[in-house]
Amino acid sequence: MLSRVLLVGGPDVDARIELMRRLMDFKLLAAGTSRRLVGTFSMAGLEFHYYPMTRGLNPIRDLYSFLSLTVLFLRLKPHIVHTYDTKPAVFARIAARLARVPIVIGTLPGLGSLYSGNDPKSAWIRRIYEPLQKLSCHLSDLTIFQNPEDTELFIQKRIVPRQKTATLPGSGVDVKQFDPRRSDYRERKTLRANLGLDDFSIIVIMISRLLRSKGVLEFADVARSIKDAHPDIAFLLAGQDDPESMDALTETEKEHLQRSVTWLGPRNDIPQLLALSDIFTLPTYYREGIPRVLLEAASMGLPIVTTQSPGCMEVVEQNMNGFLTPARDENALKDAILKLALDPSLRRRMGETSRQRAVARFDLSIIAQQTASIYRHLLARKGYGNPAHP
């Protein structure tokens, strides 16, 4: 019988489906906080379980989430619980240990807006969060980070012992799905027309939730400045609003954004949008793990302009496949975008390098192999030997 691995995430745990499909030596299950995912996982041939959890701090609801997770683990009896995201990485790991799950792993795909600023509210929440995270890390067999800066920060804060850490380069990208060679000229032409763009516009795209720390306001300011002198350069922003976030935009800021760029809202055609674009940018100062959108853009062969931030520096090498600018430096962001927009040969060269880096370092199959190796090692250490066992 295959070892049972339960992946626990939030409302977007379906982002792990392709990884789950590649971990064929294990019996994979998932748990998430959105009932709408039942059908999504069913269509993928995977077992899904709902549990309740809300964003933010709410002691009564958080206790209910914790108890629900504990009951779920006792019922499913997984050999491994592997958590993702901030709150599940705390509550689900503690619950898993209480339910006597043999192996408990937590992946922290970035530290988020909680570590993006030093405002009083963030500092207050960190004082609550860090002791809980420390407890869950010490109770776990392993905590996985996506970049070395996050790993070292948590070690220095004594939140996690060094011997209980590992670093994997992001969540990976399906380089066969995000492949520029799959793009059809007629499809790109139709999509351009639907977006009100002519065939000659140079398209700069950003894909992100509408969060201040993602750099959307800097993107808007730079777009407005560039378009005054270069009306042939178009700026697109794809991504959903996130009004519940502590980092959400005000209504006035959203109005400014929509006057400056074409905001497409949430989209389900990201590969197609990337295929018609010329430059990808993510001027983030959010504490990313390794941003999935950077991996997707690199895999689609785009030159990238992003910031000198943890995670982003893993994907972009300065002057090789793009430019790294200081966070919140609109002048540097503008200069980097213009340099690429005005030089087709530079865009082509950097885009080819992006694709090569994505295939060599971030292919989802590579991440799956590394994840499977971690599972096997921990199973063997706990006396299970092979993934398949009685």
Q: Are 166 and 108 in contact (CB under 8 A)?
A: no
Domains and CATH numbers, the chain: 4-172+364-381 (3.40.50.2000), 180-362 (3.40.50.2000)
Mean pLDDT of the chain: 92
CA 387 – CA 140 distance, rounded (Å): 19
Contact assessment for residue 270 and residue 276, using Cβ atoms and an 8 Å cutoff: no
Q: What is the pLDDT of residue 1?
A: 78
DSSP string across 45-78: T-EEEE----SS--HHHHHHHHHHHHHHHHHH--
| pLDDT tens digit sequence for 137-163 | 999 999 999 999 899 999 999 999 999
Q: What is the mean pLDDT of residues 35-59?
A: 92
pLDDT band at 115 (very low <50, low <70, confident <90, very high): low
Predicted confidence band of residue 124 (pLDDT cuts 50, 70, 90): confident
Contact 163, 137 (CB under 8 A): no
Q: What pLDDT does 118 receive?
A: 67
The yes-or-no verdict on residue 385 having pLDDT over 70 is: no
pLDDT of residue 390: 47
Q: Which residues, other chains included, contact 201 with Cβ-Cβ below 8 Å and sequence gap of 6+?
A: 192, 232, 233, 234
In this predicted structure, the answer to whether residue 121 has a pLDDT above a threshold of 60 is yes
pLDDT > 90: percent of the chain: 80
Backbone phi, psi, residue 84, to 5°: -130, 155
Interval 286-306: pLDDT, tens: 878 899 999 999 999 999 999
Contact 145, 289 (CB under 8 A): yes
3-state secondary structure of 297: helix
Least confident of 30-39, 242-251, 259-268: 242-251
Share of the chain above pLDDT 70, in %: 96
Residue 247: band (very low, low, confident or very high) from pLDDT cuts 50, 70, 90 = confident
